[in-house]
Amino acid sequence: MDVHVTGSTVRGTARAPPSKSYTHRALLAAGYSDGATVRSPLVSADTRATARAVTAFGGAVRPSPEPGAPAPESRAADPEPLDGSARVPDDAEALAVDGFGGRPAVPDDVIDCANSGTTMRLVTAAAALADGATVLTGDGSLRSRPQGPLLTALGDLGVRAESTRGNGRAPLVIAGPLAGGEVAIPGDVSSQYVTALLMAGAVTDEGIEVELTTELKSAPYVDITLELLGDFGVEATPVGEDGAPLDGAAGAAGFVVEGGQSYAPAGGSYAVPGDFSSISYLVAAGAIAAEPGEAVRIEGARPSAQGDAAIVDIAERMGADIDWDRDEGVIAVRRSDLSGVAVDVGDTPDLLPTIAALGAVADGDTRITNCEHVRYKETDRVAAMAEELEAMGAETTEEPDALTIHGSESDLRGATVDGRADHRIVMALAVAALAAEGTTTIRGGEHVDVSFPGFFDAMADLGMAVEREGATE
């Protein structure tokens, strides 16, 4: 779907979608349990993939008849499952999950993770618990993404974990069962490897001790995992070089999770917080294009372990006028004159596209560093933002581990740009288009469904001049 965005101003109130990161983990955690309800979930293309995996392992995911209600005892009268084909509303208030009690069954068929890297990595470790072989695959983009370090770690733990093409990429064959043990893994490729091992390790017989062979990047995403595990009654501990417990994942030399634990959230339900990765586009839109004298208000922005909440501080450092009422979970952003800053995204890789868009309208240089790992997402996001912003008139300098946007040399104008089948690239380019002269056409606009299904509706409500080819009311 082509989306046409014409330079325009925005104002009013938008609500942040639920967190994709938390929803993935919550659905799988509920799957590991004997049954739980996930409230305020994000129902999107990616999280449907995780729901399909839970179902493949012998569980079931379906709309809850009442928000916060316990998982149904009988499946006979349940609504249709969330299997990717059933018509489950994107704004479902709650999902009831029948769990597989920590012991996934061997799937009847291949698990299709579609375009969801989080699903593939978390589910790869879950599959290692099954007493038999599981095959995982995905779309062309996902089949190009590295899984090798996780496969090696599972192999070291006694599990058959292979890439069918022998290149560390999907399709994957995983055959357990996983008993637990000690394993070493790099921390600078994907924090999701650590998350996968911790979530699965809690229900093994022996537990898992993870040693990091390189510095952990994206540590806040592991903090999300630790927070959610705690909410499901599971304890996992980051440790330092001396083996002493740490308060968080940053600076950890490894992690320990005891085996034989059970997943069970208090009261049988878990509520997903708002998503700061998605909030970042709304913050940037307000800072770039809020109507003079008006603000963009963002609801659902309560503090959590999400590292991407750093977008508030980054935008403020660039000169944005922002008020964040943390108690009410409301952010107000007013249009301001922005100046370039230096930002290290080692812990917040998903913010790179948003920061790049802000840099394209700021004075001076915005230098984004420590971002080589951002090249291994749905697309090479460093190259994608450099090339597509240049098509819109921005000046950029791309290095292996850095991206600099020369705002003072940039003059954004309408152009046809490629969203690279990547939801974050599409949304960041749409935000940049607000400040461009004329109309920008973004190819692949439908990919926002991965994490923010109502993105263009929300932006239209705020005043973005947007047209979608082939869209229906």
Catalytic-residue membership of 350: yes
Does the annotation place 306 within a ligand binding site?
A: no
Q: Cα 97 vs. chain centroid, distance in angstroms?
A: 21
Considering the candidates 46, 112, 275, 350, report the single residue annotated as catalytic.
350
Does the annotation place 52 within a ligand binding site?
A: no
Does the annotation place 191 within a ligand binding site?
A: yes
Does the annotation place 192 within a ligand binding site?
A: yes
- Pick left, alpha or beta for residue 168 (phi over 0 → left; psi -120 to 50 → alpha; otherwise beta): left
Q: Which amino acid is at 70?
A: P
Q: Is the dihedral of CA 301, 305, 311, 313 positive or negative?
A: positive
Does the annotation place 15 within a ligand binding site?
A: no
Does the annotation place 39 within a ligand binding site?
A: no
Does the annotation place 163 within a ligand binding site?
A: no
Does the annotation place 269 within a ligand binding site?
A: no
Does the annotation place 424 within a ligand binding site?
A: yes
CB 17 within 8 A of CB 454: yes
Sheet holding 330-334, edge to edge: 12-15, 295-299, 330-334, 321-325
Does the annotation place 217 within a ligand binding site?
A: no
- Which residue ranges are tagged as binding site? 20-21, 25, 117, 145, 190-192, 218, 350, 377, 381, 424
Residue numbering of the annotated binding site for phosphoenolpyruvate = 20, 117, 145, 192, 381, 424
Annotated binding-site members for 3-phosphoshikimate = 20-21, 25, 190-192, 218, 350, 377
> Annotated active-site positions, please?
350
